[in-house]
Amino acid sequence: MKIVDAKVVVTSPGRNFVTLKLTTDEGLTGLGDATLNGRELAVVSYLTGHVAPLLIGLDPHRIEDTWQSLYRGAYWRRGPVTMAAIAAVDVALWDIKAKAAGLPLYQLLGGASRERVRTYGHANGRDIPELLDSVRARLAEGYPAVRIQSGIPGLKAVYGVSDTDTAGTPVLHQQARPLVEDWDTEAYLRHMPAVFDAVRAEFGAELPLLHDAHHRLTPIQAARLGKDLEPYRPFWLEDCTPAESQEALRLVRRSTTTPLAIGEVFNTVHDYQTLITEQLIDYVRSAVTHFGGVTPLRKLFDFAAQYQIKSAVHGPEDISPVGMAAAVHLDLAVHNFGIQEYSGHSPLTREVFRHSYTFTDGYLHPGEAPGIGVELDEELAAAHPYAPAYLPVNRLHDGTVHDW
């Protein structure tokens, strides 16, 4: 079997997605997600100009060899653009291999380690009463765990709160330049314990509550927040401080027993080495789409398992159903699964990407269709062309861009 075609499809059914479609000489096709939020066209160029021509004529079953060739052969390694492009190839090859075997992908990864995949949903509000309503909505949808985000008194807008869709997912603004939001760290640190107190008072001690600091804090500020939240027993504090300096998490870890989750902006296992070997975190958060695909993410989870660290794959709405499907197959198979973020997708996105994975009573299952279980409607995709879109930029009160 040989690859005879590699096509890159860009579509925007409400937000931008980049999809790689590989076709073999036996008529099998495989899909991979290459979406890079706010930098989609950079990955399109990388795929069409550099990667796709190298794939023609290759044996699609040689997944590991192809992955290593793309990673090492370019000389310039790592980085989000490179790893998103490699991820698309990797997932598309796994899709083809599983289809050739007539099996869902999770069966090729060792079979199911559980019956279903636990998720958490997003709840947010401009103030506490609005947040409580949002939590009720997520619970009514069946979510067994909820991430809570709140507006901050004195700030006009906070990322993940004021600009969200009906599912509570941050909206990517389709415009030529990013919005600018203000920020006040001290106001945030004062407010969050009150937020947790209100949610616990309303919903009790049993509901798993998560919170994302979105890299906004210094290590000492993150340590303070983690300690202040300890009485409310968070499921985790996510992205409390930029972890490019992995050693910074030593201070946070020494100061609080609040569980820590990090990694959605990481691209390779090297970003995690100190965090894992020193057990500075409790959950690894990388996405299939941004970590180079199923092949390296499975290796990361196996590495993390040696240190009692669990998986928690990044699953926002800007991961397409292709990337989400691959994640759910991996979630079902790995033994150190923790939880899966799931924001869902719009009805239009689900029409463009028809998928076999299901969400029932707060749990996902990948389905039994051969491959990853996603089909792309290319005609409908073409009806929704790319539109420039960016996440917001944050500035302090004096106008300085925040250097998270």
Three-class SS of residue 125? strand
252, 287 contact by CB (below 8 A): no
Three-class SS of residue 14? coil
* 232 in active site: no
Q: What is the DSSP letter of 371?
A: B
E-strand stretches of 105-242: 117-125, 146-150, 180-183, 209-212, 236-238
Q: Of the residues 61, 173, 214, 402, which is catalytic?
A: 214
Query: Can you name the residues that pair with 212 across neighbouring β-strands?
Result: 238
CB atoms within 10 A of CB 212: 21
CB atoms within 10 A of CB 273: 12
Three-class SS of residue 369? coil
367, 329 contact by CB (below 8 A): no
Cα(330)–Cα(288) distance, integer angstroms:
9
Q: Of the residues 106, 120, 159, 272, which is catalytic?
A: 159
Query: Can you name the residues that pair with 30 across neighbouring β-strands?
Result: 22
Q: Helices 80-101 and 63-73 sit at what angle, rounded to 10 degrees?
A: 170
Q: Within 230-338, where are the H helices?
A: 248-255, 273-277, 294-305, 321-333
Angle of CA points 381, 385, 389, to nearest 5°: 120
Cα(134)–Cα(126) distance, integer angstroms:
10
Cα(247)–Cα(236) distance, integer angstroms:
19
71, 292 contact by CB (below 8 A): yes
* 214 in active site: yes
Pairing verdict, β 17-24 and 3-11: antiparallel
Cα(242)–Cα(253) distance, integer angstroms:
14
81, 49 contact by CB (below 8 A): no
Residues carrying an active site annotation = 159, 214
